[in-house]
Amino acid sequence: MADHVSSTIVIKAQPAAVLAVVADISRYPDWSDALTSAEVIETTPAGLPAKARFQAKTTFGKEDYTLVYDWAGPTSVTWTMLESDRVRTLDGSYTLTDLGDGSTEVTYDLTVELKVPIPGLLRRKAEDKLVESALYDLKAQVER
């Protein structure tokens, strides 16, 4: 069964600045503790990542996976997992809302389904780490 997590944070930057960091996938390992490598393997005609390969540190070891991206205008991006060893589903999105005061509300949604059952406590710990990296590490990178 798939688990869904959603969380929101406010980042002191315009949406374009936040989206620029989100789109700079090859730099993710520089600021995300969860990732050891990230490589864009295909881009859209606009130069945005269309497909990327990642290696993450997880509670259960290293995980390699490939994501396909859909850039829905200047305020959101969604992704769908194309392939992975231990993960069946890893689909998510960032949605950006301009708060009008120079800051952006960022909502992160993620649906995860593992191929192998994991006890609830360990699964929640892994989900919390994903959200932390996806929002708090993103915030730190954008605001530095």
Give pLDDT tens digits for 77-89: 999 999 998 888 9
> Among 51, 124, 70, 62, which residue's Cα sits nearest to residue 87?
62
Question: Which tens digits make up the pLDDT trace of 62-71?
Answer: 889 999 999 9
β-strands 61-71, 3-11 pairing: unpaired
Q: Are the CB atoms for 103 and 10 separated by under 8 Å?
A: yes
The reported pTM is 0.89
